[in-house]
């Protein structure tokens, strides 16, 4: 019986020495704070509103309310995205392809700034972002709010975007997107 206890104690002690490092390392690993991933790498398409807040001072330059279609294609592991936006009114639309630099500002949330060119389908007809072709600067925020869904908002500035006027057009856009990648 004494020999049994001695063997039992020896096996228990050796087992404790072998298992203890695993238990300690698991405990240490779980004690480390989990860093929340900043930003989103979502590629998505979305739709929403577009509200022009400026006018060029000429006939056909009035601030216009309409809609927008937008899309983002994340380019690999870089902080760069290819984007497209269409701001439309009841008369015509402005197609705005642009490239953006993206910065993660919170969990699943990016801020971005981009530059591109605005192509107005019917020159002289109002869209929320002006009535003629020109350089466009876009700044915005996007955030994943659920599985495969995002909300986005941006401001688009059409540089010299009115016919017969040196004024720039400013539109405020927002909507809901669906993540496809």
pLDDT for 3 equals 52
Q: Tell me which of 16 and 112 has the higher pLDDT.
A: 112
pTM (2 d.p.):
0.77
Which residues lie below 8 Å from residue 81, measured CB to CB, with a gap of 6+? 72, 73, 74, 75, 99, 100, 102, 112, 114
pLDDT, tens digit (0-9, with 9 covering 90-100), for 7-52: 443 444 433 333 444 344 444 455 555 566 799 999 999 999 999 9
Q: Tell me which of 24 and 2 has the higher pLDDT.
A: 2
The CATH architecture of the domain made up of 44-179 is Beta Barrel (2.40)
Share of the chain above pLDDT 90, in %: 68
Q: Tell me which of 62 and 23 has the higher pLDDT.
A: 62
pLDDT, tens digit (0-9, with 9 covering 90-100), for 63-86: 899 999 999 999 999 999 999 999
Which range has the worst mean pLDDT, 13-22, 91-100, 129-138, 166-175? 13-22
- What band does 165 get if pLDDT is binned at 50, 70 and 90? confident
Is residue 53 within 8 A of residue 122, CB to CB? The reply is no
Q: What is the rounded CA–CA span in Å between residue 122 and residue 120?
A: 6
């Amino acid at each position: 019986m004494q020999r049994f206890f001695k063997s039992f104690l020896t096996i228990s002690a050796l087992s404790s020495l072998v298992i203890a490092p695993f238990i300690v390392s698991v405990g240490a690993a779980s004690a480390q704070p989990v860093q929340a991933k900043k930003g989103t790498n979502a590629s998505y398409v979305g739709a929403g509103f577009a509200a022009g807040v400026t006018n060029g001072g000429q006939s056909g330059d009035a601030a216009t309310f309409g809609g927008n279609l937008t899309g983002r294609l994340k380019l690999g592991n870089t902080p760069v995205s290819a984007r497209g936006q269409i701001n439309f009114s009841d008369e015509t639309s402005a197609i705005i392809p642009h490239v953006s630099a993206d910065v993660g500002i919170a969990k699943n949330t990016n801020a971005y700034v981009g530059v591109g060119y605005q192509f107005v389908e019917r020159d002289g007809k109002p869209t929320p972002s002006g009535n003629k072709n020109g350089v466009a600067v876009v700044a915005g925020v996007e955030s994943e709010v659920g599985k495969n869904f995002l909300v986005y908002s941006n401001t688009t500035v059409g540089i010299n975007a009115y016919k017969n006027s040196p004024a720039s057009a400013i539109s405020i856009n927002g909507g809901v997107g669906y993540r496809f990648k």
